Amino acid sequence: MAVGVKICGLRERPALDAAVRHGARMVGFVFFDRSPRNVSLGDVAALARHVPEGIEKVGVTVDAGDDRLGAVIAAAELDTIQFHGSEDVRRLAHVRTRFGVRVMKVIRVATSGDLESLPAFDTVADMIMFDAMPPRDATRPGGNAIAFDWTLLAGIRPQSPWILSGGLDAGNLCRAVEASGAAMVDVSSGVETSPGHKSASRIAEFMEQARVI
């Protein structure tokens, strides 16, 4: 079965074009100052114009207020907001209603106990993402190029579609999908030459692996 792919942290046109050309279902733009993948409103507006209809545009945010969310949604004409901070269920519901966008909640995983919040978020989120718990000294909640025990997700049955993230690359994608049962995956650092700089050839390689799983 082919696995759906979200290419996240896009900042440069060649990488965006590669994601589109090779069949990504979602493209992600990061709006978090401490991330090397952070993109300005002006730059994202220019990039978003080149995303064809049918490819979902996702904005990655961390505990952002309504003013900030309104600005990023307008600049990129976002379809979905990805919540990567401490946002609770009420926050997701508020944003979904106020802005008319889809909402995705990231659940950070290190042990099975970290999945206990899933039922609550599953009642309101349009999509769930499972990512690795960041190291204690991390300066950002995601995009740290680390994986978690994928077998923790084996057999889960959320009512919402879900995405596997965290340390994925072309070399481990097949094992990750087999262990977790994921039908959709998210990649960022695994298709980069350095933090924040995506490689068109690595995107192509990753997408090819996703097609043949």
Mean pLDDT by runs of 10 across the 213 residues of the chain is: 93 98 98 96 98 98 98 98 97 98 97 96 97 69 74 94 97 97 97 96 98 91
pTM value > 0.85 = yes
Integer Cα distance of 155 and 169 in angstroms: 23
Please give the pLDDT value at position 143: 57
Integer Cα distance of 47 and 19 in angstroms: 12
Please give the pLDDT value at position 2: 87
Integer Cα distance of 72 and 58 in angstroms: 10
Q: State the Cα angle at 159 between 155 and 164, rounded to 5°.
A: 55
Integer Cα distance of 29 and 38 in angstroms: 8
4-212 folds as TIM Barrel (3.20.20)
Sign of the torsion angle spanned by Cα atoms 149, 152, 156, 159: negative
Please give the pLDDT value at position 141: 58
Residue 151 CB coordination number (10 Å):
12
Integer Cα distance of 178 and 154 in angstroms: 9
- Please tell me whether residue 14 adopts helix, strand or coil conformation: helix
Query: In the chain, where are the structural domains located?
Result: 4-212
Please give the pLDDT value at position 213: 86
